[in-house]
Structure 1
């Protein structure tokens, strides 16, 4: 008698995301691992992001008839096989020599979109050439070189900008200070080339100094208007900020506290999501990041009104653990768990997510 097939896959290097995280942290030098894992201040916000997900539970719907849910959707006209994008985390070759080249290839193989960072190891152009189907959104900071960089982004064929609005200065990151963290800044300098762009020292001086002129919404509206591309405001935590972003012409918002790496203490991003969704009222897509660690977290964020989620640390874990293969495995596990919960909760497709699919729980 032939043995029955195994209940769970046996020939996979990573069975669950926690194994990917463990492998990533083991592969990295301690100070780089702290750079990845850490947050600002006492890391109250960092912990709050995870605690917030623990307050929600999925409401099962037995006998729903759903057996093959679709996770496909679109964002700003871009097709997504899974409502997940990768975040524009900088210094990516600190985690793996291929950095966002590997992330973008993994996103392309997974039918996802990569948000390519300004402070990355590789240029916008090189990432776009490597994975043109995935490298569709480019991140940019609202600094004085905005027009020059935005023109490069447009010429490289990107479909949209992602403007990080919550980073007029770098957060007070205690772990990095304790470690005297001093990485080679060229890991962050892939885009600091060409006429009109600052050098590495100048760029980081702007992020850590408190005497540079800070932009406001009017400046941002004027700059994005000149660019001519749709743009996403990343770093919105309040209805007030959402209103300002919409008035400035944003085509989408990302509810985010920068993964707990900027303001500390600050509200958990998940707690802020319903407020922002209510303010937006369906006028533009609302994305979510900060604290996502599983397909269940993706489910909860979608139920609470997000149109898609953005993964930063998860993508970096996959990158550090196994390069492109590791990031692809992150996407596979997120998709598998999300589809499982969609079946159990009777959700046939992404458009069918509603707040009544989840409930507040005391644990």
Structure 2
């Protein structure tokens, strides 16, 4: 991977405080294992939006995916189908959504942005349904691109063709919207009106507060992702794991909650589920594995993640996902500056 692409993948927004905080938040928790639990195997299969998952992980949407591998999200789709989980496919891709849909027989979720005319959004949603996608994901924390200084210093901008495979003859549209800094005129009322016209289940990605969680539920969405875009949008927002309990409490079990941000290990998945997440989303891990080895790299990374998660459950004395709760964790004492 060249240095510019690595800066895109590894970097965040502003001073990258939120990027660091996502990782640090996971380190502030320790396990309280229960021994002699008599467990010889774990059961990690679950469902999300009616889709079967071998373990409670989905992959995050990855824009500009062709920079990381020549076949980008097509390779991710093949790997996730083999691993028994589901990818969220980015709208801002080199590849049309139909091409990614055809890359594997596994179920897929299509990600779209909350900007532009609602009719355009609904047109993409109709395309996704026709192509066989099982659900939709709308990203609400990206009215424009974050202030990504690491890329500015390098004077690197993702080429238009890497963002705009879904736009045909108006290929620069996606990139123009993302970098223009003009924002979006969408409101929760816009989303609610769109939701009423959708046939597929809808996941909202980018929630950090109880207030927005309530708005999302009121808008009729089917799931929420607690996400700060991997620290790549507004810097100095809280770590997603820190906000997870607030959002879970606001949702009150009415819809599933996904945790996105900082997940690198199977033990991280265990911590997120113990704090109330139903599923976790992995982004940078997936993109790094894609760059390292295509579909084989992604499948290997997901297999290792699942094996460590299952081993961690066994060592913690928990047999099923229903047994994962706050009693499994304690906060580590502060160490000072």
TM-score tier after normalising by the smaller chain length: over 0.9
Q: Which has the larger radius of gyration?
A: 1
Match of residue 95 from structure 1? 68
Q: 2:194 aligns with which of 223, 234, 239?
A: 223
CA contact (8 A) 2:164 2:172 kept: no
Matched, 1:156 2:131: yes
**What does 1:42-61 align with in structure 2 at a 5 Å threshold?**
42-61=15-34
Q: 1:176 aligns with which of 148, 151, 155?
A: 151
SS in 2 for 1:140: strand
**What does 1:9-158 align with in structure 2 at a 5 Å threshold?**
28-134=1-107, 136-143=108-115, 144=117, 145-158=120-133
How far, CA to CA, are the matches of 1:250 and 1:276 in structure 2? 14
Match of residue 206 from structure 2? 235
SS in 1 for 2:262: coil
Superposition deviation, residue 212 in structure 1 = 5.2
CA contact (8 A) 2:161 2:172 kept: no
How far, CA to CA, are the matches of 1:90 and 1:339 in structure 2? 30
Q: Please, what TM-score do these two structures have when normalized by structure 1?
A: 0.89
Alignment deviations for residues 7-62 of structure 1 (CA, whole Å, 9 cap, x no partner) = xxxxxxxxxxxxxxxxxxxxx10010000000000000000001100100111111
How far, CA to CA, are the matches of 1:90 and 1:185 in structure 2? 11
Alignment deviations for residues 216-250 of structure 1 (CA, whole Å, 9 cap, x no partner) = 00011111211222100100001001000001111
Superposition deviation, residue 159 in structure 1 = 1.5
Superposition deviation, residue 352 in structure 1 = 2.0
How far, CA to CA, are the matches of 2:47 and 2:183 in structure 1? 38
Superposition deviation, residue 93 in structure 1 = 1.1
- Structure 1 gap segments, 5+ residues each: 1-27
Q: How many residues get paired? A: 331
Superposition deviation, residue 213 in structure 1 = 4.4
SS in 1 for 2:157: coil
Match of residue 324 from structure 1? 295
